[in-house]
Each structure stands twice: as C-alpha cells, then as structure tokens.
Amino acid sequence: METLFDKFGGVRPMAEHLDEPPSTVQSWKTTGRVPAIKQQRVLEKAAELRIAITAEDVVFPLGRTVEAHGQLDARSDGATSSGNEREISGRVAA
C-alpha cells in the first residue's frame, strides 16, 4: 500500500515541498498522523504538485489500520471500545 509519504516521494521530498524540517515530517510518519493544523497545507501542496491524494490520505497517512486499543466495535453510536465500558460520552452508564 502506498502511503501519503510515498506519494510525495519520501520524507525528505515531502519536507522540502512543505517547507518543514525532515525531522518534523519523519515524526508525522512515525506517529502515523499529520497534525490537523498542517493537513490543509498538505492537501494544497499536493494539488499544486499534481499529486493525487485525498483528505483520507492526509487523515490516515499510513492507511487505515485498527489498533489493538480503541478498536471500533459494532455500536451504532461510533464510540470506541476503551476497556472501560462504563463511561460513554462523559456519562456513567447505569
């Protein structure tokens, strides 16, 4: 699967295009997230460079993965399972 970073040609080229230090872009890759404040810039630069990406590529730069903690369950409210099922949306369930 091609990641957001691959689409830009790697961490260094992406950093150069975005005027960010390579270490910053590497941290995005390591954590698997582009900070919300940077996401629009990434989309704009990709469009300028004619790199085909979507908002989903920016929100999930390494692709959609399900982590062991916080997996989505079958609940219709979209809440995640955190191991503490008593607390839902700040309320204590009965």
Q: Three-state DSSP class for 87?
A: strand
Compute the mean pLDDT over every residue in the chain, rounded to the nearest whole number.
Answer: 82
Q: At what angle do helices 36-48 and 11-18 cross, to 10 degrees?
A: 90
Structure confidence by residue, pLDDT tens digits, 51-94? 999 999 999 999 987 554 455 444 445 554 444 444 444 454 54
Q: What structural domains and CATH numbers belong to the chain?
A: 4-65 (1.10.260)
